[in-house]
Structure 1
């Protein structure tokens, strides 16, 4: 049996997490197909809330065995986002089996730990400028992981002036590449919210199989 999984992310640059869902499922011996629809292509404007995205995805007419719904915790508790997701599913798509995906504080925190990957994506793999990366135990306390990641990529590039401007303009592309390169067995495996995501996913896959 192949499970049909819907992945709805907070931003389009988070779509790369879908491949990790597929690979985690494969490692667990569960066959899945993951759909991560780009709702920007719909004729009507889709809001940013989980409810808005679920409503738009449901109108596409597909059926799913499981939905993975991503919402960054930002500055509030992860439990508040999990409750928000549960309420949205109950209102918009009752009965849909789902799991919340709640990075703390932002998904960028999961990308802020692998020095080799950051240097490679920044285009300077042999760079020696200290990056002062946070530890896995401290990264969820970084006030603004997105800005910290942007600054770190700029520093890792070793560029200045116009070349630095080019690097900074590629941030979304570089962020997407970092998500593709994310080593699930690397430092992120020690981050609490990542551990919760993986454990929730495995439990949901077992329940849906």
Structure 2
């Protein structure tokens, strides 16, 4: 059977995680169809809460067929990951009771996952052969960085070795480059050492065992 998965994320630059959901399913020998709804199709604004997005996704489910599971990304921000876990579980219970859910909860924010691949950062910066030091953390410290988004922006700028107008152009493409970095993320690389990634990977594999 084909597992029908719904993927809800915080922003369009998080869509790169779809690829990893598909690859993890393939690892498990599962065929999966991942849908990330375009809420702009609705004639009214959709709220930012998980429950709001789940209700909107149900309305966009044109064929009337339910999903088998939903993968929900929420950064932990300044709070403990367990708070987000409870928030996600409560939202699913309220908006789509009985739907299997898999939380994706990077510590602080997803950018912490993207700080670990120097080669990928140099690639998206347009300077793959660069050698300038980027000041990136070791895996054990990545999720302790206070503002990983800011550090990632700085790292891409340093890696590019650009200045002036060219640097500003690069910085204006941060969302696009962030999306590329997420797609390029090596699941077997340093990110595999992070507790938040391990939890996502393990919980998705466990959920897929039911299909």
Q: Does 1:157 align with 2:169?
A: no
> Which residue pairs with 1:183 in the alignment?
186
> Which residue pairs with 2:42 in the alignment?
42
Cα distance between partner residues in 1 of 2:204 and 2:150: 28
CA RMSD of aligned residues (A): 0.9
Runs of 4+ residues over 3 Å off in structure 1: none
Cα distance between partner residues in 2 of 1:106 and 1:24: 21
Output aligned runs, 1:97-176, within 5 Å.
97-176=100-179
> Which residue pairs with 1:10 in the alignment?
10
Cα distance between partner residues in 2 of 1:204 and 1:105: 25
Q: Tell me the alpha carbon deviations over residues 53-75 of structure 1, each in whole angstroms, 9 at most, x when there is no partner.
A: 11100111341001001100001
**Counterpart of 1:138 in 2: which secondary structure?**
helix
Q: Tell me the alpha carbon deviations over residues 59-102 of structure 1, each in whole angstroms, 9 at most, x when there is no partner.
A: 11341001001100001000000000000011111111111111
> Which residue pairs with 1:22 in the alignment?
22
Normalization by structure 1: what TM-score?
0.97
| Deviation at residue 38 of structure 1 after TM alignment | 2.2
Q: Does 1:83 align with 2:86?
A: yes
Change (3 A) 1:145 1:41: farther
Which structure 2 residue ranges, 5 or more long, are not aligned? Answer: none
Change (3 A) 1:40 1:143: farther
Which structure 1 residue ranges, 5 or more long, are not aligned? Answer: none
Q: Tell me the alpha carbon deviations over residues 167-187 of structure 1, each in whole angstroms, 9 at most, x when there is no partner.
A: 100000100111111110111
Residues 12 and 38 of structure 1 are in contact (CA less than 8 Å); yes or no, is this contact kept in structure 2? no
